[in-house]
């Protein structure tokens, strides 16, 4: 019987788990440069996931330069030298068109104030604890640049989960991951990260108080600073 390379998924954020699993197989050498991934149907079946989740995971892996799609030929593990070029030499903003990056920001500016409005009204004690834990994790990652993005993502996802609306959660997951490379750059600065921590605390405090107007204002303030930071980064690289 053929031994399975992939492990069937057990958790809810399916495409994240797919990304982690394929990334791990590439990093440990199980999947080698130029290896072709199984067909979409075969891989979805082996992972026990939907094709929609698999496609979303592949978009993330492509944005990270780990795999490449070839017209009519399927998906392949990227050459090592090309992966290094994508990861370290190309401006990460170029992995997604600059216009697209601004579209993601625009979407967050429309989405997240509404998320914190509902979170202020609906968050349970368990939700509050989860948001607090996410903020604490952000503080602990201050000295670990590579882990800042994940910690920041978890905070914003915890806010979305506090709305008890799965559509908000799905939309936030997609937005946060599609421009992961850009966020790595914008969170590099220790000073900016410290400011961001304070902004996140103000959002949390407003939600704990059930003050939706203050929560909205705190989120809008945070997103304006994020926009300024991203624009500064883009202009610097041009």
Asked if residue 221 and residue 112 are part of one domain, the reply reads yes
Asked if 188 and 229 touch (Cβ cutoff 8 Å), the reply is no
**Facing residues of 76 across strands?**
36, 68
pLDDT at 85 over 60: no
Are residues 211 and 99 part of one domain?
A: yes
On whether residue 7 sits in a domain, the answer given is no
Looking at the structure, do residues 165 and 218 belong to the same domain, yes or no?
yes
Asked if 103 and 54 sit in the same domain, the reply is no
CB-CB contact of 138 with 194 (8 Å): no
The reply to whether 119 falls in a domain is yes
Residues sharing a CB contact under 8 Å with residue 204, sequence separation 6 or more, in sequence order: 128, 131, 132, 135
Q: Is residue 90 part of a domain?
A: no
**Same domain for 176 and 120:** yes
- In which domain, by residue range, is 26 found? 14-77
Task: Tell me if 142 is assigned to some domain.
Answer: yes
CB 14 within 8 A of CB 53: yes
For residue 88, tell me if it sits in a domain: no
3-state SS assignment for residue 36: strand
Same domain assignment for residues 129 and 202? yes
Residue indicated by tokens 């993601």: 104
pLDDT of residue 135: 95
Indicate the residue among 25, 50, 77 that finishes a domain: 77
Tell me whether residue 9 is in a domain: no
CATH of the domain at 24: 1.10.10.10
pLDDT above 70 as % of the chain: 77
Q: Give the residue among 206, 30, 35 at the shortest CA–CA distance from 115.
A: 206
pLDDT surpassing 60 at residue 215: yes
Does 72 share its domain with 106?
Answer: no
Residue 119 has pLDDT above 90, yes or no: yes
187 is a domain residue: yes
Q: What is the DSSP string of 45-107?
A: HHHT--HHHHHHHHHHHHHTTSEEEETTTEEEEPPHHHHHIIIIIS-GGGGS-HHHHHHHHHH
pLDDT by residue (tens digit) across 124-166? 999 999 999 999 998 987 777 667 778 888 899 999 999 999 8
Mean pLDDT within 78-86: 53
Start-to-end Cα distance in the chain = 55
* Domain assignment present for 164: yes
Q: Tell whether 223 and 193 lie within a shared domain.
A: yes
**Number of domains the chain contains:** 2
Distance CA 96, CA 42 (A): 28
* Domain co-membership, 223 together with 140: yes
Q: Is 159 exposed, middle or buried (0-12, 13-18, 19+ CB in 10 A)?
A: buried
Question: Is 158 found in the same domain as 123?
Answer: yes
* Separation of alpha carbons 157 and 161, rounded Å: 6
């Amino acid at each position: 019987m053929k031994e399975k390379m992939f492990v069937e998924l057990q958790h809810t954020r399916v495409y994240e788990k797919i990304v982690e699993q394929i990334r791990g197989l590439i990093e440990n050498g199980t999947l080698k440069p130029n290896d072709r991934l199984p067909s979409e149907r075969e891989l979805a079946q082996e992972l026990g996931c939907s094709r929609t989740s698999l496609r979303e995971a592949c978009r993330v892996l492509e944005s990270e330069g780990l795999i490449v799609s070839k017209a009519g030929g399927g998906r392949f593990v990227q050459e090592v030298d090309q992966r290094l070029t994508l990861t370290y030499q190309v401006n990460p903003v170029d992995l997604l068109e600059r216009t697209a990056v601004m579209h993601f920001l625009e979407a967050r500016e429309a989405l997240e104030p509404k998320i914190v409005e509902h979170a202020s009204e609906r968050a349970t004690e368990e939700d509050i604890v989860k948001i607090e834990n996410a903020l604490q994790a952000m503080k602990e990652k201050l000295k670990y640049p590579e882990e800042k993005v994940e910690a920041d993502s978890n905070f914003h996802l915890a806010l979305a989960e506090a709305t008890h609306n799965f559509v908000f959660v799905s939309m936030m997951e997609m937005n946060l991951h599609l421009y992961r490379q850009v966020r790595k750059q914008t969170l590099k600065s220790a000073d900016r990260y410290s400011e961001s921590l304070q902004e996140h605390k103000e959002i949390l405090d407003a939600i704990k108080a059930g003050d939706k107007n203050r929560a909205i204002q705190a989120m809008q303030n945070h997103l304006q600073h994020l926009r300024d930071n991203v624009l500064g980064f883009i202009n610097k690289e041009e």
